[in-house]
Amino acid sequence: MNIQTLTLDGKDFVILSREDYEDLVDVGEANKISERIRSGEEELVPSEIVNALIDGANPVRLWRNHRGMTARELARRTELSAAYISEIETGKKDGSISSMKKIATVLGVDLDDLV
């Protein structure tokens, strides 16, 4: 990447080729992501969710609440017991991989978002 700098009126500017600029911002990829968000294929994660995760909130409970789902409904839809869901949400159990996959599917998130 060939980058040049220029100072005008005390402000520094960066000059680069159009090709390098497009590689840098990858406009096409940004448009694809925007389309996936518009179509509902992808979603933006609200800052409240991100901040709560950073603060250590249980991701299963957090996503379940975000989806407006009760623990009983999650249990029913995953075919897991409500007690087991509760133990996962309170940290008493980690949850098996197969259980966490079921929960991720019902909550519409990646397994990585829960573990």
The pLDDT assigned to 30 comes to 80
* Strand-pair partners of 7: 12
The pLDDT assigned to 115 comes to 87
Q: Is the pLDDT of residue 56 over 80?
A: yes
Quick: pLDDT tens for 78-95.
999 999 999 999 999 999
Handedness of CA 76, 79, 82, 85 (dihedral sign): negative
The pLDDT assigned to 31 comes to 84
pTM for this structure?
A: 0.70
Domains and their CATH numbers in the chain? 3-39 (no CATH), 47-113 (1.10.260.40)
Token representation of residue 115: 């573990």
The pLDDT assigned to 26 comes to 73
The pLDDT assigned to 69 comes to 97
- CA–CA distance from 20 to each of 2, 6, 23, 95 (Å)? 8, 17, 5, 46
Residues 6+ apart with CB under 8 A from 43: 37
